[in-house]
Amino acid sequence: MPSWRRFMTFSEYRKNDATALAALVKKRSVSPAELLELAVDRFEAVNDRLNAVVSTRLPAARAEVEGCEPWGPFSGVPFLLKDLAMEIKGSPMSCGSRSYRGYVSDHDSDLVAAARRSGLIVFGKTNTPEFGITPYTEPSALGPARNPWNTMHTPGGSSGGSGAAVAAGIVPMASASDGGGSIRIPASNCGLFGLKSSRGLLPFAQDGWGGGVVEGCLSRSVRDTAGYLDAVSGSTGFVSALSKGPPEHLRIAFSTAHPFADDGLTVHEDCVKAVHEAMRLAQSLGHHVEEVSLPWDKAVYERDFLPVLFVSTVEEVARARAVRGGKLRARDLEPNTALMAQMGSRIDAAAYTEALSRWTELAARFAAVYEGFDLLCVPSLAEPPARIGQFASPAAEALAVRAASRLGLAGLLMRFGIVREMAQRVFGYMPFTPPANMAGLPAVSLPLGTSASGLPVGVQFIGPQGSDELLLRFSAAVETSAPWFDRVPELQDRTFTGPWSSQ
């Protein structure tokens, strides 16, 4: 039996990223079992206030650490899976939906198998909105995930549970996915590092939402994300790229203009300030910065993004129906989800392919920007973290949506502009993240700003197709110059005493 030093404290655990914890395991300075129990203790201490973790597999995880050999890049490091399309044998998967109640996975998905081969110890799954559709995590089936920086605010979505768990110190890193900002939004709201990789980078990942979805992680350090990409992509190049040092003399374009400015929307001053401070930092690192116009306008959301999302929701509902043995009741889905599926069923193949062709046109507009610049900087979000319930429909609208979703009257809501109003509320909050998904580009959210009320504010950098390595090297240089790792929430806000329950 190996000889291990015992009694790491939570403070020591939290001061190490996943890479450092794995190094301690390799040196036999700490045991995988001890790390797991530290993670479980923290989960038990804070999850009733956060609702970040929605299921656990503690007996299986405890059995796995007993046979854990310290050879993988993340051997012995506790880990959580986003509970959306991430299957691990013998564990439930909810996808944030009542329609999956009772479902237990009979296999590991390819990405999960790759993560486990790296030595990660999966002990639970994190909260997500129904089918990962929204930029906030408030599923009616499971209750809202809450932000450790202030539990009255959202950690974002759709990887909100993962963001809350990492920010709260339950795990140093957790799985996430991004189809319209779902890695970068929680990274921004929770003070974390989040990379949405280039389309097609991960061979084991599903290609959802017309190719817009990519898998990844949320972490507190650039090197952890680089290591995770290496582990699940089969590459060995992302961590080694960091040793090349910072990129020099980059040309960085930036904008803080709101795409819905014509409708009277503006970017919050805290988010504008964060971008401007990031540009001053970039200049201090020897880079050239220049303000430009955005390479997209508000038409891309309703005309180009929503049709693909609606059709993809039809597919998600079909999967849920199969899980329920072909019988899906109205109460198995949230009204908004059912409405989106109805909208998707009205879109024919020609309209769908036309929307996707405009994604390619958007990529060309980005490419024109990159003829003169290396990176584009924009806010991660147009506002600081939203309050829980901020995007809930007013009573009359909610009643109309519920009725339309049950009676098949989605077209009526379209005709009266209700769907457009609902969409603009959401896209007005997150106008800067979907374009990178549509164009297939890599993008990062860096935790560089703070709101006037002390909440994290992210700054986003978008690179050309395939520039993931450049983004990681640039992010590492920023991390060194403006360290964020030790900025963590204290979880002193006890206004929410949970656990949240749903009938």
- Full strand arrangement of the beta sheet holding 121-126: 53-56, 121-126, 78-82, 173-178, 214-219, 193-196, 443-450, 456-462, 375-379, 251-254, 288-291
Element (H, E) at 475: helix 468-481
The yes-or-no answer on residue 82 being catalytic is: yes
What is the Cα–Cα distance from 479 to 487, expressed in whole angstroms? 12
Please give the structure tokens belonging to residue 107: 């296999």
The secondary structure of 314-338 as a DSSP string is HHHHHHHHHHTTT---GGGS-HHHH
Give phi and psi for 438, each to the nearest 5. -65, -40
H or E element, residue 289? strand 288-291
Q: Which residue among 75, 82, 197, 233 is the active-site one? A: 82
Dihedral angle of Cα 213, 217, 218, 221, to the nearest 10 degrees: -130
- CA 470 to CA 453: how far, in whole Å? 33
Nearest to 83 by CA among 159, 182, 188, 166: 159
Q: Omega before 135 cis (within 30°)?
A: no
* Active site (annotated) includes residue 158: yes
What are 270's two structure tokens?
């805290």
Active-site residue flag, 196:
no
List 31, 158, 159, 177, catalytic entry: 158
3-state class of 462 per DSSP? strand
In sequence order, the β-bridge partners of residue 80 are 124, 174
CB 298 within 8 A of CB 77: no
Count of CB atoms within 10 A of residue 33's CB?
18
Q: Can you tell me the distance from the alpha carbon of 264 to that of 427, in angstroms, rounded to the nearest whole number?
A: 14
- Type and span of the H or E element at 336: helix 335-345
Query: Which element (helix H / strand E) includes 81?
Result: strand 78-82
> Which entry of 182, 233, 445, 451 is annotated as an active-site residue?
182
Q: Using an 8 Å Cβ cutoff, are 470 and 374 in contact?
A: yes
Nearest to 131 by CA among 414, 262, 320: 320
Concatenating the DSSP letter of every residue in 403-437 gives HHHHHT-HHHHHHTTHHHHHHHHHHHHSTTSHHHH
Task: Quickly tell me which residue has 């490419």 as its tokens.
Answer: 367
Active-site residues: which are they?
82, 158, 182
